[in-house]
A and B are shown apart, each in its own frame.
Chain A
């Protein structure tokens, strides 16, 4: 008898428990310093305001595959997911992310500008709410480059002037563009050239000239480690990682902003959430992507806010007390020669060029 009562009690608790914890949401992001900056700028203020408990899940790197698996299993456990724009486009194409109407679902700027205008061209997909602008760019060891510090991205391909290893990402995106530019292709023609097999061969031939001097990375933390150990003389990575090497760890490393490639990172809401959870997710997004909140994030990490109206509000680093504006990839001094990741092009050519790139790597 006692046993039955206990069982009944356990069953009731199990049934009641989810209702009691409805004020909980799972937000997926990249982990590390990035999640910390989001926690400080978005999660904590939001929890304080609404009483919702936020659970962090550091799964953004596998978000696309996991969302597809969850969707097929009919059990989506994530409420809001942080992904790069290219992944957001893929998720939107696959029907795994919800479409967003910026004007009704996102906060307007303080001066009344609509969200659609405030984000402008950065709304690259119907499902994507941009959060930050980051860039993939180069850092170099100031003590290893000799008297003339590199000023152009083509220094990467100049092993005579800058002997030593370089680190590049183990994928074609960005590397192919840099190779073509340094092979004399005009910036405006890069994607026209890269769309042709001859152009792809040209880019690979240029990369071939430094193939023996390259260490290929696949995790964002690789280049900072290689630079700090003096294993490479220069290397590409995300600008926020370099900021941390230079300003927080005080390593003899400097930024080479030339031909940096802008990319976007932001939120998507998974498709197939219940109405209640969808409402909750939209409420969070409305709060977390308003002008002030986006500007706040830059206090903890050196990525530029995606709203035009947030830029003037960027202040100082919360711990280091230095001005963050000059460390933003979007700062006019840093943004003299930039690329914007060509989402349309890479959505089409990624599979094809990646196969060629990997075959070239394995040669």
Chain B
């Protein structure tokens, strides 16, 4: 050791400080590791994370009004929505000028659809007015106030302009308000009329029913997993096929099979009537309600519960139970104090899997749920594919995602996520 190294930094063979050299070597190693996972990382990023965020961003995005009616929105800023009086001529003139451009690009009907989510009648108002405004000249035909009201008397309705003004910001909380049964008005957020409130109720129902389904999966799955884990390997493997069999059958087929089983003229009711346990005119109603959804979804999600439980139980040494019994524990005490605590990580993993899959389920509740057994995902599907209200669908999806994250966090606090094992 020279003086040089004792007070200066330690040097590597090539004279660079050792710390730097080490960092470089580590960086290289990290880069190599990153390169190895890069394909997967990029795949997940492009096919999963970016689409999710672009979809979720729709829940607040609302540039369509400004883009379609830029002049009108500027003019409307000077107008007091609470005055109860119609806007003045400049707003109407700006509106016609905007519409002529929008009609040319065929964008006005799209705006009509957007505003129709907020105010019934906007869709046809824009479509019909478009046909007539097309023939107007923004310069020569002024003034427009009277003319527009002639085209459709709704242009003489303060409410129409209030809706346009209320929904003109490019970033809106309107979809999120709609998602919790409220709406955006010039006076601020207000709750929807009672006869249109449904979404909060559906959120609650989705959570409660998912919990019930998770609970029944635990009750049914635990004994099965226990038997599988305690049988000799060869028998267990055969039985495992029975557990996995549903995985290899189409979801639709399984759900439809439940329909055949559970309906009033179905297999179960026929057998009960034949046995005389149920009168012919009071057959059990087991489908097209919550019972149907719970039965069918428990069956479909059961393997997701059994598999993690099974793999955890396999690792529990049978000697522990014997040891407990040798020290005087009864069968029950040995199970409850020794075996069960060891199997909790499996229950935890299975429950998280089943619960998260359940709250996003859509096709099974749609088929067997009737009116009382449908989930929030059924409304999301409706808004994605039928009403095309993707903003609302995105807001509902975001809320669902946040709820799951909160529950996950709560689970971590209560049970601890380290306690989850898939094997």
Task: Give the interface of A toward B (CB within 8 A).
Answer: 61-62, 64-65, 68, 90, 92-95, 165, 170, 201, 215-216, 218-219, 225, 229-231, 344, 347-352, 354-356, 358-362
Contact B113–A355 (Cβ < 8 Å): no
Contact B117–A351 (Cβ < 8 Å): yes
Distance A225 CA – B266 CA, assembled complex (angstroms) = 12
| Known pairs A65-B388, A93-B112, A359-B197 / 8 extra A-B pairs, C-beta < 8 Å | A64-B386, A68-B388, A95-B110, A216-B370, A225-B259, A231-B264, A347-B116, A352-B196
Contact A360–B195 (Cβ < 8 Å): yes
Contact A218–B386 (Cβ < 8 Å): no
Verify if B263 is at the interface (C-beta below 8 Å from A): yes
What number of B residues sit within 8 Å (CB to CB) of A? 42
Verify if B198 is at the interface (C-beta below 8 Å from A): yes
Distance A142 CA – B51 CA, assembled complex (angstroms) = 52
Contact A362–B372 (Cβ < 8 Å): yes
Contact A354–B387 (Cβ < 8 Å): yes
Chain A interface helix/strand/loop/mixed: helix
The answer, among A92, A351, A362, for a CB contact under 8 Å with B116, is A351
Contact B372–A347 (Cβ < 8 Å): no
Contact A229–B263 (Cβ < 8 Å): yes
Q: Beta-carbon contacts of B101-118 to A below 8 Å, as 1s and 0s?
A: 000001101101100110
With a cutoff of 8 Å between Cβ atoms, the chain B residues found around residue A216 in the complex are 288, 370-371
With a cutoff of 8 Å between Cβ atoms, the chain A residues found around residue B330 in the complex are none
Contact A62–B385 (Cβ < 8 Å): yes
The answer, among B120, B259, B372, for a CB contact under 8 Å with A349, is B120
**Which B residues from 370 to 423 make CB contacts under 8 A with A?**
370-372, 374, 379, 382, 384-390
Q: Beta-carbon contacts of B197-218 to A below 8 Å, as 1s and 0s?
A: 1100110000000000000000
Verify if B325 is at the interface (C-beta below 8 Å from A): no
Contact B388–A359 (Cβ < 8 Å): no
Verify if B366 is at the interface (C-beta below 8 Å from A): yes
Given contacts A216-B288, A359-B195, contact A95 B371 (CB under 8 A): no
Nearest-neighbour CB distance to chain B for A343, whole angstroms, equals 10
Of B13-21, B24-32, B121-129, B232-240, the one touching chain A: B121-129
Q: Which 7 A-B pairs have the closest CB atoms?
A: A93-B109, A359-B198, A65-B385, A352-B120, A361-B371, A355-B196, A95-B106
Contact A94–B195 (Cβ < 8 Å): no
Contact A65–B196 (Cβ < 8 Å): no
Verify if B331 is at the interface (C-beta below 8 Å from A): no
Chosen A-B contacts, 20 in total, with CB atoms closer than 8 Å, are A64-B388, A90-B388, A94-B109, A95-B110, A216-B288, A216-B371, A218-B367, A225-B259, A231-B263, A231-B264, A347-B124, A349-B121, A352-B196, A354-B382, A354-B387, A356-B196, A358-B198, A361-B371, A362-B201, A362-B371
Contact A356–B110 (Cβ < 8 Å): no
Verify if B74 is at the interface (C-beta below 8 Å from A): no
Distance A344 CA – B198 CA, assembled complex (angstroms) = 26
Distance A92 CA – B372 CA, assembled complex (angstroms) = 35
Nearest-neighbour CB distance to chain A for B378, whole angstroms, equals 9
Contact A231–B265 (Cβ < 8 Å): yes
Contact A359–B196 (Cβ < 8 Å): yes
Distance A95 CA – B201 CA, assembled complex (angstroms) = 35
Distance A344 CA – B127 CA, assembled complex (angstroms) = 10
Contact B123–A348 (Cβ < 8 Å): yes
With a cutoff of 8 Å between Cβ atoms, the chain A residues found around residue B367 in the complex are 218-219
Distance A230 CA – B113 CA, assembled complex (angstroms) = 42
Distance A94 CA – B386 CA, assembled complex (angstroms) = 13
* Minimum CB distance partner of A61 in chain B: B385
With a cutoff of 8 Å between Cβ atoms, the chain B residues found around residue A225 in the complex are 259
Nearest-neighbour CB distance to chain B for A42, whole angstroms, equals 26
The answer, among B107, B122, B264, B386, for a CB contact under 8 Å with A95, is B107
With a cutoff of 8 Å between Cβ atoms, the chain A residues found around residue B112 in the complex are 93
Given contacts A93-B127, A94-B113, A230-B265, contact A215 B288 (CB under 8 A): yes
Contact A218–B366 (Cβ < 8 Å): yes
Distance A216 CA – B292 CA, assembled complex (angstroms) = 14
Chain B CB count within 10 A is highest, among A90, A225, A351, for A351
Contact B387–A350 (Cβ < 8 Å): yes
With a cutoff of 8 Å between Cβ atoms, the chain B residues found around residue A65 in the complex are 384-385, 388
Nearest-neighbour CB distance to chain A for B7, whole angstroms, equals 57
Task: Give the interface of B toward A (CB within 8 A).
Answer: 106-107, 109-110, 112-113, 116-117, 120-124, 127, 192, 195-198, 201-202, 259, 263-266, 288, 366-367, 370-372, 374, 379, 382, 384-390
Contact B120–A351 (Cβ < 8 Å): yes
Distance A171 CA – B72 CA, assembled complex (angstroms) = 36
With a cutoff of 8 Å between Cβ atoms, the chain B residues found around residue A358 in the complex are 198, 379
Chain B CB count within 10 A is highest, among A93, A218, A225, A356, for A93
Distance A94 CA – B387 CA, assembled complex (angstroms) = 12
The answer, among A92, A170, A218, A354, for a CB contact under 8 Å with B109, is A92
With a cutoff of 8 Å between Cβ atoms, the chain A residues found around residue B107 in the complex are 95
Nearest-neighbour CB distance to chain A for B223, whole angstroms, equals 34
With a cutoff of 8 Å between Cβ atoms, the chain A residues found around residue B379 in the complex are 358
* Minimum CB distance partner of B108 in chain A: A93
With a cutoff of 8 Å between Cβ atoms, the chain B residues found around residue A94 in the complex are 109-110, 113, 388
Contact A351–B202 (Cβ < 8 Å): no
* Minimum CB distance partner of A215 in chain B: B288
With a cutoff of 8 Å between Cβ atoms, the chain B residues found around residue A351 in the complex are 116-117, 120, 387, 389
Distance A349 CA – B116 CA, assembled complex (angstroms) = 8
Nearest-neighbour CB distance to chain A for B330, whole angstroms, equals 49
Distance A258 CA – B109 CA, assembled complex (angstroms) = 35
Distance A152 CA – B372 CA, assembled complex (angstroms) = 30
The answer, among A93, A165, A201, A344, for a CB contact under 8 Å with B113, is A93
Distance A146 CA – B370 CA, assembled complex (angstroms) = 28
With a cutoff of 8 Å between Cβ atoms, the chain A residues found around residue B263 in the complex are 229, 231
Contact B120–A93 (Cβ < 8 Å): no
* Minimum CB distance partner of A347 in chain B: B123
Contact A229–B265 (Cβ < 8 Å): yes
Nearest-neighbour CB distance to chain B for A169, whole angstroms, equals 13
Distance A356 CA – B374 CA, assembled complex (angstroms) = 16
Distance A287 CA – B183 CA, assembled complex (angstroms) = 49
* Minimum CB distance partner of B122 in chain A: A348
With a cutoff of 8 Å between Cβ atoms, the chain A residues found around residue B121 in the complex are 348-349
Distance A94 CA – B108 CA, assembled complex (angstroms) = 9
Nearest-neighbour CB distance to chain B for A118, whole angstroms, equals 23
Contact A93–B196 (Cβ < 8 Å): no
Nearest-neighbour CB distance to chain B for A128, whole angstroms, equals 14
With a cutoff of 8 Å between Cβ atoms, the chain B residues found around residue A350 in the complex are 387
Nearest-neighbour CB distance to chain B for A31, whole angstroms, equals 13
With a cutoff of 8 Å between Cβ atoms, the chain A residues found around residue B106 in the complex are 95
Contact B123–A93 (Cβ < 8 Å): yes
Nearest-neighbour CB distance to chain B for A235, whole angstroms, equals 13
Nearest-neighbour CB distance to chain B for A282, whole angstroms, equals 19
* Minimum CB distance partner of B389 in chain A: A351
